[in-house]
Amino acid sequence: MNEKYIPSEVEAKWQKDWAKEKAFSTEINRQRPEYYVLEMFPYPSGNLHMGHVRNYSIGDVVARYKKMQGYNVLHPMGWDAFGMPAENAAIKHGINPADWTWDNIANMRRQQQELGLSYDWDREVATCHPDYYKWTQWMFLLFYEKGLAYKKKAAVNWCEDCHTVLANEQVVDGRCWRCDSVVVKKELEQWFFRITEYADRLLEDLKDLKGWPERVKTMQENWIGRSTGAEFSFDIPEIAEKIFVYTTRPDTVFGVSYVVLAPEHPLVEKLVAGRPEAKEVRAFVDRVKNLSEISRTSTETEKEGVFTGAYAVHPFTGEKVPIWVTNYVLMEYGTGAVMGVPAHDQRDWDFADKYSLPKRLVIQAPSGDSTIETMTAAYEGSGQMVNSAEFSGRDNESGKDVICAWLEEHGVGKRRVNYRLRDWLVSRQRYWGAPIPMIYCDKCGVVPVPKEALPVMLPNNISFDSGTVSPLAKVEEFVNCSCPNCGNRARRETDTMDTFICSSWYYFRYTDPHNSTLPFDSAKVNYWMPVDQYIGGVEHAILHLLYARFFTKVLKDAGLMNIGEPFKNLLTQGMVIKDGAKMSKSKGNVVSPEEIIAKYGADTARVFILFAAPPERDLEWSDQGVEGAYRFLNRLWRIVGHYAGENALVADEYDPSKLNKNERELRRVLHVTIRKVSEAIGERFNFNTAISSIMELVNAMYAFRELQAEASPGLIREVVAGLLKLLAPFAPHITEELWHETIAEGSIHAQTWPVFDAAAVEVDEVEIVLQINGKVRDKIIVPVGLGASELESMAFEQDKVKELVADKKVVKVICVPQKLVNIVVK
């Protein structure tokens, strides 16, 4: 074999071979347990970055390891290929978005192949391909049939830069998640998916996701934001209307001193019409409405309001309470109106202070001596109800229930569950997406495109300008169509779908990527799904991961398969950092994977990235660390090369019990390593410690070679074969090459994982730590398996121990066999 390790030669050779042999193609096989490992598919921006390399390296180790363990492994890759950047490239450089996207895919696929990733390329999907988006459209129609897709006019998030609306999940701190520009509210008619209908199940089933990180589940829980309480009404006799309020604290209802409405509340105008307060209220409402989402919802913004001049009737007491309009009530949550209870809600307390509204104590804290006069803040805890008519004296927790019962009995209100989660706004005023398959007919209204007419193809002859309407609206051949119902002239919907829809079901398509009659065959999905291990960045904790869960539940309810949750185990990998910051063009700290591969090879890149940190943690890029990984592979190459072509590697049977001491030690290290690596990969995904123990094995081989030039026949073969197999998932090319050079003809990646031999790791002597008062004072080597009493007496025979114990009184002796003796003296 070649004396020098030349990664480029080795890697190209085996990549070609794997592709030719279709080494990683997968079919259903009921003889073996199935395992589905999936990395979040990328947006084809054109080039892989280190975050991708990390993501795919992690997945590839899992895939290759599981395969060697005997699993039937599905490990696919594809492209989240619709989206804005393609369109921006078109606008900026006049390139066709489809061409731009397909070129990028070709380049990134090449880069992935150069990383030696074990994908089943026959299953590749691209969401922008008509064979794929046909089924995305089919999904839309399914949602429509089930009443889960609907159109409504609402105040929606509008991104001025992207010229499109956004779902709530895509607005981060009042800014667009993609371009970071400030989002404004616009009244528009848009398509929504009724995700709120699934809110409870999305929340409930989180409990079963034992393999998900706690923080992702918490984030979803917060996002769904379930709260329980009551909704009830205050009469406004003057205008014969009711104000409905929502509260989680019905037990504080006797503390109400005012009612507040959101500025957008439909009753505001009705209430103030013709009153002297009208002018001031209208001015206030206008001012608040014009504020940006950020300043509007910031907790720092001072609570402000105006009195409408109108009063409502308290349903319990019959008292008149003033109606105010304020900036701290949101129209989108609950009913857009709130009862003000200053004594027991800090926001109301602040508001009451500012406008000198009365405060009434209705929950007495356990200390029992609070009065409004002595309180300096609202009391939001629990306690005893006071000043609450017949409810006084009750503890407030049971009071909630009793108040609700009263409301229901008197027909004033009812118990209600509320969610922070809103319906998913799915239409986008953009070109490069899956067209929404709907038609507008003057006679028939909104008509879905018949499924047999799918896909609704994206036209290619598109012109871009920075207008405000959807680009598709300007393509007459696209817009004009005939109504599927009556045949008259009709217009197509010109919005496209949020790309998160495309990515909400791709993992199903992988199980049956070429199906031309259905999005997937349910038997195939049921065989492969759920994904056993999903790997990706935590930035999708709510977005993609929530939508995907929603989709899965809808498809299950539609009877398309029987999977309730898509991703059994989720690994959220950390970011790749350099000089303390995330790699980014603007920071100028980007290291290109292609350069690293060209210089050191893919195996080095993979080993470095997996060795430098555990997968969940952020990874600090280090050029010297890469050198270290490269050095390790060279060291491996040399030590294996040293034995290649020698008798050491002949496939002789041998008797491990005949080995000498050095040889037994080498064999012991091998088996300890097998155990450690198996545990580190299989149980904890601690790839960094797995690699470190493989390094120790290589070090042990060097140490052995120093001790003796020749080895018993068969031993080196066992060690080399084991070593290569253990490293194969991490560094697939170099191990494949060395395997062929030294062990056998077939691919190492089709081998079975090495088996740990318990007998091999047995030792006959063990070091015992001798402690006095918990401090290490001596160490002794003793035969393995000594009992506590023997150990204890041996400990006391040591000179050092005698000396230190001599004039003291032994209080206690703790013996941990195989480990230590601790003598407690006074």
Partner RNA sequence: GCGGGCGUGGCGGAAUGGCAGACGCACCAGACUUAGGAUCUGGCGUUUCACGACGUGGAGGUUCAAGUCCUCUCGCCCGCACCA
Between CA 338 and CA 326 the distance in angstroms is: 10
Between CA 669 and CA 636 the distance in angstroms is: 16
For residues 492 and 478, is the Cβ–Cβ distance under 8 A? yes
Q: Which of residues 523-562 bind RNA (CB under 7 A)?
A: 538, 541-542
Rank residues 157 and 247 by Cβ distance to RNA and give the closer one. 247
Rank residues 177 and 464 by Cβ distance to RNA and give the closer one. 177
Between CA 805 and CA 823 the distance in angstroms is: 9
Residue 181 in contact with RNA, rule: CB under 7 A: no
Between CA 810 and CA 801 the distance in angstroms is: 11
- In the shown chain, the binding pattern of residues 620 to 639 toward RNA, with x for contact by CB under 7 A and - for none, equals x-x-xx-xxx-xx-xx--x-
Residue 482 in contact with RNA, rule: CB under 7 A: no
Rank residues 658 and 819 by Cβ distance to RNA and give the closer one. 819
Residue 814 in contact with RNA, rule: CB under 7 A: yes
Among candidate residues 507, 497, 586, the one with its CA nearest the CA of residue 540:
507
Residue 812 in contact with RNA, rule: CB under 7 A: yes
Size of the site for RNA (CB under 7 A): 85
Rank residues 189 and 332 by Cβ distance to RNA and give the closer one. 332
Write the DSSP assignment of 621-642 as a string of letters.
--HHHHHHHHHHHHHHHHHHHH
Rank residues 173 and 557 by Cβ distance to RNA and give the closer one. 173
* CB 409 to RNA: min, Å: 21
Between CA 161 and CA 84 the distance in angstroms is: 11
Rank residues 201 and 635 by Cβ distance to RNA and give the closer one. 635
Residue 779 in contact with RNA, rule: CB under 7 A: yes
Residue 281 in contact with RNA, rule: CB under 7 A: no
* CB 817 to RNA: min, Å: 11
In degrees to the nearest 10, what's the CA dihedral of 684, 689, 695, 696?
Answer: -100
* CB 744 to RNA: min, Å: 26
Is residue 208 classed as helix, strand or coil in its secondary structure?
helix
- Exposed, middle or buried: residue 135 (CB in 10 Å: 0-12, 13-18, 19+)? buried
CA atoms within 13 A on the CB side of 336: 12
* CB 311 to RNA: min, Å: 20
DSSP 527: H
Quick one: how far is CA 367 from the chain centroid?
Answer: 45
Residue 425 in contact with RNA, rule: CB under 7 A: no
For residues 443 and 488, is the Cβ–Cβ distance under 8 A? yes
DSSP 435: B
* CB 598 to RNA: min, Å: 16
Stretch that binds RNA, among 28-36, 235-243, 332-340, 403-411 (CB under 7 A): 332-340
Residue choice 206, 330, 558, 780 for contact with RNA (CB under 7 A) = 330
Two structure tokens written together for 573: 């990998």
Q: How do strand 78-79 and strand 125-126 relate by DSSP bridges?
A: parallel
Q: Which of residues 707-746 bind RNA (CB under 7 A)?
A: none
* CB 678 to RNA: min, Å: 14
Between CA 271 and CA 468 the distance in angstroms is: 36
* CB 172 to RNA: min, Å: 6
Residue 185 in contact with RNA, rule: CB under 7 A: no
Residue 824 in contact with RNA, rule: CB under 7 A: yes
Stretch that binds RNA, among 232-240, 364-372, 723-731, 814-822 (CB under 7 A): 814-822
Residue 769 in contact with RNA, rule: CB under 7 A: yes
Rank residues 8 and 689 by Cβ distance to RNA and give the closer one. 689
* CB 652 to RNA: min, Å: 26
What are the b/e assignments for 421-433, b being 16+ CB within 10 Å? bbbbbbbbbbbbb
Residue choice 23, 91, 98, 172 for contact with RNA (CB under 7 A) = 172
Q: How do strand 533-537 and strand 570-573 relate by DSSP bridges?
A: parallel
CA angle 334, 336, 340 (to 5 degrees): 95
Residue 415 in contact with RNA, rule: CB under 7 A: no
Residue 644 in contact with RNA, rule: CB under 7 A: no
Q: Which of residues 654-713 bind RNA (CB under 7 A)?
A: 686, 688-689, 691-692, 695-696, 699, 702-703, 706
Q: Which of residues 56-115 bind RNA (CB under 7 A)?
A: none
Q: Which of residues 219-258 bind RNA (CB under 7 A)?
A: 219, 222-223, 225, 227, 229, 246-249
Between CA 705 and CA 308 the distance in angstroms is: 91
* CB 664 to RNA: min, Å: 19
State residue 699 phi and psi, 5-degree precision: -60, -40
Q: Determine which helix (DSSP H) or strand (DSSP E) holds 112, and give its type and residue range.
A: helix 97-114
Residue 774 in contact with RNA, rule: CB under 7 A: yes
Q: Which of residues 602-621 bind RNA (CB under 7 A)?
A: 611-614, 617-620
Q: Which of residues 310-329 bind RNA (CB under 7 A)?
A: 327-329
Residue choice 333, 440, 464, 796 for contact with RNA (CB under 7 A) = 333
* CB 613 to RNA: min, Å: 4
Q: Which of residues 347-406 bind RNA (CB under 7 A)?
A: 347
Is residue 547 classed as helix, strand or coil in its secondary structure?
helix
Q: Looking at the DSSP assignment, which residues form a beta bridge with residue 582?
A: 577
Alpha helix ranges (H) inside 115-242: 130-145, 199-204, 214-224
* CB 38 to RNA: min, Å: 23
Residue choice 31, 290, 299, 461 for contact with RNA (CB under 7 A) = 299
